[in-house]
Amino acid sequence: MARSPVTDSAYQALVQELEHGVHAPGARLPGERDLAERLGVSRVTLRVALTTLEHEGRLERSAQRGWFVPRQVIGEPPSTLQSFTEMARARGLTPTAAVLVQQVRASTLDEADKLRIAPSAPVIQLDRLRGMDGTPVCVDTIAIVLDRAPALADADLTDRSLYDELERRCGVAIHRSAYSVQAAAADERLARLLGVPVGSPVLVGSEVAYTTDSTPILIGVNHYRGDAYRFEADLYRPTSSA
């Protein structure tokens, strides 16, 4: 991969050292100046070789600190809020979304409370059947505060990511979601939509999503096929406190 002969020899020498375990995983390499001298090349040349190794994932750079040998056990997946669409794409599947209901209606007392709006203030009701690669996986029931996302009232949300559209059309970015999940049995309607027997286990996720400034923007309930979805999160234990 290295271009010129000198660069290549430096590259090869480094590969040698790495493969022979001269540098332990996680360890810092000697400074560029030392390395360059030891390999008999200039720093510029050395850096080309190092950069190549970085692109190959065999080294990691950290500015003002040094070059590090990657640990073979890489970090744990952070607990992040992933939209259905992102989740599907991360798995290499095609997300779909069929709109079942999309209308503006008055909010219920409970919704108004959670969304911090006036009771019966208008919300967009959005029910969708979500699928991956054509297989129905989830039924979403969402209520969005109309005032905070007016452009969504009559947008076509078929096969689209709600989070994306929220950001693109309304400039609203979701930052945090209070999520709770529960196991339940599929009722008749749900069973029909998801294509499972009545009484099958489903994972019911309830969410209240907030923007960066902690304004609640939507509440949603997701009914996932029990065998098609797993909810993942990192939980931190508080330090012993009062």
Partner DNA sequence: GCATCACTGGACTAACTGGTCTTGAACTCA
Partner DNA sequence: TGAGTTCAAGACCAGTTAGTCCAGTGATGC
Q: Output Rg (C-alpha) for the chain, integer angstroms.
A: 26
- Residue 41 is which amino acid? V
Q: What phi and psi values does residue 227 have, to the nearest 5 degrees?
A: -90, 5
Cβ(198)–Cβ(188) below 8 Å: yes
Among 1, 27, 33, 184, binds DNA (CB under 7 A): 33
Closer to a second copy at the Cβ: 58 or 175?
175
When asked if residue 109 is in the footprint of a second copy (CB under 8 A), the reply is: no
Among 23, 58, 61, 175, binds DNA (CB under 7 A): 61
How many Å apart are CA 145 and CA 170, to the nearest integer? 12
Beta-bridged to residue 127, according to DSSP, are 101, 141
Closer to DNA at the Cβ: 9 or 177?
9
Q: How far is the CB of 199 from a second copy (least distance, A)?
A: 7
Among 15, 32, 81, 191, binds a second copy (CB under 8 A): 81
Beta-bridged to residue 225, according to DSSP, are 202
Closer to DNA at the Cβ: 197 or 238?
238
In angstroms, the Cα distances linking 146 to 51, 111, 161, 217 are: 50, 13, 18, 9
| DSSP code of residue 83 | -
Q: Which of residues 143-182 bind a second copy (CB under 8 A)?
A: 163, 173-182
How many Å apart are CA 104 and CA 155, to the nearest integer? 12
Q: Which stretch binds a second copy (CB under 8 A): 72-80, 96-104, 128-136, 139-147?
A: 72-80
Task: Tell me which residues touch DNA (CB under 7 A).
Answer: 3-7, 29-34, 40-45, 47-48, 61-67
Give the footprint of a second copy on this chain (CB under 8 A): 4-6, 16-17, 19-24, 26-27, 30, 62-65, 73, 75-81, 116, 163, 173-185, 199-204, 210, 214, 224, 226-227, 229-242
